[in-house]
């Protein structure tokens, strides 16, 4: 079923016109059921009934359109005022408008009944301001107005919800791009620093280093606009990144991966999240070839668990803003409960929730 097409039909002028005419006709039938003069005998009653329904529908349609126009006029003239003031002015104006509409319909109905059919019952009721005529007509007006108001404000609310959701998504995407941009300068300047020292010492290794660096940046550029990528894609990036790290730190870092192939293809994480955790571990710990930094990445019960042995540095270099806070915000923007950070028994551990490939988080 095409819901958009159905929505266009309901919004069309022809549909609104036919809908209002139908509602008014039903109200005319209901009104006649309370007027005993329509069920007394026969003769001119079918003609009188048809004339009444025609007048009621025509007059009611004009009143309905007038109420909508009055609503728009009041809203334009009260724009910028307090919501309570605007509401009271709108309700008060429509109430007075309804009273006048009911009064003039009673006058029209009573007068046409005398002229066309020589009947004075409606005129007697009109002069007495009886419940059966004027008050009844006014109540019908309120019912019509309330029904129309429900439809109008539901449509406005629905449009507001759609607009709000769109703005939230645009805001989230903009924030996400800002967080992704924080990765690039930090990673780029560290890599250039290593390459500057390497290019004169080992040209062949420098060429391989440049190739892997290009692969890393190709990944960042390709995945920059994506909120989630498969673990397999993230690990492909991690292979190139780990090579750069090994060259940079002279094989003083050991990587241990334990993630089933099936999980790699079916689960997803924010791009470069593993890279940022590894860089965070390198920045905050002391290590050497004799005492390497052991980084282990494994999958367990819906989480990627990244852990490393803990040997904190006395002082930590200035950060450009990347790290755990960046990853935590990116998970929040993807609708996840967030990451878990644990530190115990000489181990630092971060648990990253993974997402099923169709986009639903697993907690």
356 band by pLDDT with thresholds 50, 70 and 90: confident
Greater model confidence, 352 or 151: 352
Residue 305 belongs to what H/E stretch? strand 303-309
Tell me the two tokens of residue 328: 């935590």
Of the candidates 132, 32, 16, the one whose C-alpha atom is nearest the C-alpha of residue 65 is 16
Does the structure show a pLDDT above 80 at 302? yes
The residues, ordered by sequence, that sit 6+ positions from 288 with a Cβ below 8 Å of its Cβ are 252
Distance CA 237, CA 225 (A): 16
Q: Please determine, for residue 40, whether its predicted confidence score (pLDDT) is greater than 90.
A: no
Angle at 94 between CA 90 and CA 96, to 5 degrees: 120
**The predicted structure's pLDDT at residue 360:** 46
**Helix and strand element counts for the chain (H, E):** 12, 8
Which pLDDT value is given to residue 320?
A: 43
pLDDT of residue 268: 92
Closest CA to 335 of 159, 132, 169: 169
pLDDT at 130: 52
Q: Does pLDDT of 241 surpass 50?
A: yes
- Residue found under tokens 């109420």: 67
DSSP-derived 3-state class of residue 289: coil
Q: Where are the beta strands (DSSP E) in 183-249?
A: 229-230
Q: CB under 8 Å to 4, separation ≥6 — which residues?
A: none
pLDDT band of residue 297 (cuts 50, 70, 90) is very high
3-state SS string for 151-174: HHHHHHHHHHHHHHHHHHHHHHHH
The confidence score (pLDDT) of residue 232 equals: 93
As a whole number, the mean pLDDT across the chain is 76
Cα–Cα nearest to 341, from 302, 363, 308, 316 = 308
Convert the pLDDT of each residue in 76-115 to its tens digit. 888 777 767 777 887 788 778 777 777 777 777 778 778 8
The values of phi and psi at residue 74, to 5°, are -65, -40
Q: What is the pLDDT of residue 37?
A: 62
Sheet holding 267-269, edge to edge: 229-230, 267-269, 355-356
Integer Cα distance of 58 and 336 in angstroms: 57
pTM greater than 0.85 (yes/no): no
User: ∠ CA 28-30-33 to the nearest 5 degrees?
Assistant: 110
Res 140 pLDDT > 90 = no
**Domains of the chain from N-terminus onward:** 3-175 (no CATH), 182-356 (3.30.565)
The answer to which of 124-128, 131-135, 196-200, 266-270 has the lowest mean pLDDT is 131-135
More confidently predicted of 153 and 195: 195
pLDDT tops 70 at residue 299? yes
Question: Over the stretch 53-80, which tens digit does the pLDDT of each residue have?
Answer: 888 788 878 887 887 788 778 878 887 7
From residue 64, alpha-carbon distances to 43, 54, 133, 231 in Å are 33, 15, 19, 60
> Alpha helices, DSSP H only, in 182-320?
183-198, 203-223, 231-249, 261-266, 273-284
High-pLDDT (> 70) share of the chain, %: 72
What is the C-alpha to C-alpha distance for residues 194 and 98, in angstroms, rounded to an integer? 81
91 Cβ neighbours under 8 A, 6+ residues apart: none
Place 51 in a pLDDT band, splitting at 50, 70 and 90: confident
């Amino acid at each position: 079923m095409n819901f958009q097409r159905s929505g266009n039909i309901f919004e069309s002028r022809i549909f609104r016109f036919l809908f209002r005419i139908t509602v008014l006709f039903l109200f005319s039938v209901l009104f006649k059921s309370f007027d005993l003069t329509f069920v007394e005998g026969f003769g001119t009653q079918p003609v009188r009934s048809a004339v009444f329904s025609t007048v009621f529908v025509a007059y009611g349609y004009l009143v309905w359109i007038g109420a909508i126009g009055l609503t728009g006029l009041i809203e334009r003239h009260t724009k910028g005022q307090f919501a309570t003031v605007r509401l009271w002015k709108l309700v008060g104006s429509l109430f007075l408008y309804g009273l006048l509409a009911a009064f003039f319909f009673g006058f029209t109905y009573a007068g046409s009944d005398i002229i066309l059919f020589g009947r004075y019952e409606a005129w007697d009721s009109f002069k007495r301001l009886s419940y059966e005529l004027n008050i009844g007509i006014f109540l019908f007006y309120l019912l019509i107005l309330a029904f129309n108001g429900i439809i109008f404000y539901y449509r406005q609310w629905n449009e507001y919800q759609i607009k709000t959701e769109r703005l939230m998504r645009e805001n989230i995407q903009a924030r996400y791009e800002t967080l992704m941009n924080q990765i690039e300068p930090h990673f780029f300047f560290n890599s250039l620093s290593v390459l500057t020292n390497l290019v004169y010492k080992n040209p062949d290794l420098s060429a391989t280093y440049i190739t892997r660096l290009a692969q890393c940046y190709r990944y960042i550029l390709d995945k920059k606009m994506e909120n989630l990528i498969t673990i397999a894609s993230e690990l492909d990036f991690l292979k190139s990144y780990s090579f750069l790290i090994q060259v940079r730190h002279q094989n003083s870092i050991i990587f241990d991966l334990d993630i089933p192939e099936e999980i790699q293809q079916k689960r997803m994480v924010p791009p470069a999240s593993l890279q940022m955790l590894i860089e965070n571990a390198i920045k905050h710990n002391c290590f050497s070839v004799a005492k390497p930094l052991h980084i282990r990445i494994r999958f367990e019960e819906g989480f990627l668990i990244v852990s490393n042995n803990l040997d904190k540095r006395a002082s930590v270099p200035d950060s450009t803003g990347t790290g755990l806070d960046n990853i935590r915000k990116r998970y929040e923007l993807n609708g996840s409960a967030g990451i878990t950070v644990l530190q115990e028994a000489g181990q630092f551990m971060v648990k990253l929730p993974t997402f099923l490939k169709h986009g639903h988080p697993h907690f």
